[in-house]
Structure 1
């Protein structure tokens, strides 16, 4: 018999709960709210020995994560980067990459598995319903939320299950070390390489265009000449790395126009030598204004006054261009009297 055959007065009345959901279906409301099923306790809820076993399982997973992280660091340090091994079914692979992948994957997986097992076996799994409320909660609602939070914190048993808590904190503390170790692979450590160039006492100044040593008479007032240190050739395998630090520009200014005393003393008859590398992001400086003795970086318009120690007068550069002390040797050629006394190019975190 269908509901259409039953008199309307004999049909069960639809009942609404606090949410407006229909508890009993009828023709007008064919979809009833079944409500929540009866809560079923887990074995860990009623058997403390089972709960202890789950606790040890979670702690074991977190411990494995810590050991895997330590293995990651050990593999990074101990395995040569060019070592190749055969691993079935992958074939010949990089031993370092394989070891790093396995240990890091195991470390992350066991943290996740431990957290999931903890939640499924020890944390409270009883479903609760609550009536929706306005965005701006009433004071009593906020108080209830805090009570629920405290209750949830209590039911998580974080304070009670100290073994889980301590191993979890250990795993979470060690995992970031993997990222810290990987940062080492961003490039070789600079050590003191940024503080030294190929310039040294007695090294001849070579014209970049002609490849010949330079005499003072080769540099005329108002000109800008680019130079490199003696012995650095374009076919050298490290030419680009070295010229990026040692590139030099020479300018001749009337001595009476030079504002800084040290700048004058470090030159020779008004010939001044400065690093060509901009102190902003390392672009090569190439634009010279003869009347003002200013040089301009074409990348971001940083401007330096060569008559005043190459100080920054405009733009984003953070400090002056380093000056190279120069002189003339017994044969009349321009030479360096030392290396730059400060690092060339952009600032870096270790720079004094």
Structure 2
């Protein structure tokens, strides 16, 4: 049955759209247009609007408090503390607190913005014709006028409580990300400046695990040592040896160019950090004739006969030297820690 066969009295009443189109017997599917606008309670009742304003402000304030809680949890809660959360089970207290506070902070900003838009900003729908991508001056002027009108209808300038609490919440939330930068590594304190070496500790051969005597180190040989009292069974051995690793070379005293190196040596035996000062690779390649050691990672080259100074490559400074002596029992012994922090340079160095 066609639309012409339908009695006209059974057709729905004609409705006009935003541009005057109406549904008739000839065209029953015409665009019905936008429904009539219905005012919200906040549009006609200022007290209701103020209640909505307070709700939004409360959400923004709650976001700020959650951000402060995130920072407090990050600083105060230990990493190894766990709590029981039903039905998950035992989880990290720090992770739980960080996730909860950051989630609340972000949710409250979003919920506050949505509630603001749904209850206080203008909700009148406008139909507009499509226009070319390149707008005409009239369209540009209309857009600017619409933007100004939208700014006024958003009550952004008039409702200072909303504006100020929103700015506060948005200003605090990025602090959560700033605090997470701390996870790039623990604060080193003085750990980078100290190693396991100290006065009176004997030099232990890393291969034989026996104390070293001067006669154990031959001229032109390279020997690796570690501090007395350190064992591979220690839970933090790798962490400690990464800073305390030592290489020992015996030179003829007349071949030592640097006076400090000569004073800090024992019977021509010089001791330097094994850790490259570029990116911390272990140095292990020794040239007997030139007294140079080469880092295998980026070819930084150091002269052990001249204070461990850099003669080639990207390393920024000389290898730290360990002052040694021969003790009463005839063993090589450290007279303190390295002359300066071992490994790569960092901004606090010096």
The normalised TM-score by structure 2 is 0.80
CA distance in 2, matches of 1:222, 1:340: 23
Q: What's the secondary structure of 2:336's corresponding residue?
A: coil
Report the equivalent of 1:316: 314
Report the equivalent of 1:217: 215
Q: Give how far 1:289 is off.
A: 1.9
Q: Give how far 1:89 is off.
A: 4.0
Which residue of 267, 282, 288 maps to 2:286?
A: 288
Gaps of 5+ in 2: 6-18
Q: Give how far 1:102 is off.
A: 2.9
Alpha-carbon spacing, 1:165–1:232, altered in 2? closer, same or farther (3 Å): same
Q: Give how far 1:198 is off.
A: 1.5
Q: Give how far 1:313 is off.
A: 3.1
Q: Give how far 1:223 is off.
A: 1.8
CA distance in 2, matches of 1:351, 1:39: 69
Report the equivalent of 2:264: 266
Alpha-carbon spacing, 1:139–1:219, altered in 2? closer, same or farther (3 Å): farther
2:188 equivalent to 1:190: yes
CA distance in 2, matches of 1:140, 1:51: 35
CA distance in 2, matches of 1:190, 1:234: 23
Give yes or no for contact 2:23–2:32 (8 Å, CA) kept in 1.
no
Which residue of 324, 327, 337 maps to 1:326?
A: 324
Q: What's the secondary structure of 1:203's corresponding residue?
A: coil
Q: Give how far 1:84 is off.
A: 5.0
Report the equivalent of 2:164: 166
Q: What's the secondary structure of 2:290's corresponding residue?
A: coil
Report the equivalent of 1:61: 59
Q: What's the secondary structure of 1:295's corresponding residue?
A: strand
Q: How many pairs does the alignment contain? A: 334
CA distance in 2, matches of 1:256, 1:151: 88
CA distance in 2, matches of 1:132, 1:261: 83
CA distance in 2, matches of 1:313, 1:124: 72
Which residue of 246, 249, 252 maps to 1:248?
A: 246
Root-mean-square deviation (CA, aligned residues, Å) is 3.4
Which residue of 38, 42, 45 maps to 2:43?
A: 45
Give yes or no for contact 2:202–2:331 (8 Å, CA) kept in 1.
yes
Gaps of 5+ in 1: 6-20
Report the equivalent of 1:132: 131
User: Which region of structure 1 is more displaced relative to structure 2, 101-110 or 84-93?
Assistant: 84-93
CA distance in 2, matches of 1:165, 1:228: 63
Alpha-carbon spacing, 1:87–1:221, altered in 2? closer, same or farther (3 Å): closer
Alpha-carbon spacing, 1:246–1:79, altered in 2? closer, same or farther (3 Å): closer
Q: Please show how residues 290-309 of structure 1 align to structure 2 within 5 Å.
A: 290-309=288-307
Give yes or no for contact 2:283–2:296 (8 Å, CA) kept in 1.
yes
Report the equivalent of 1:15: none
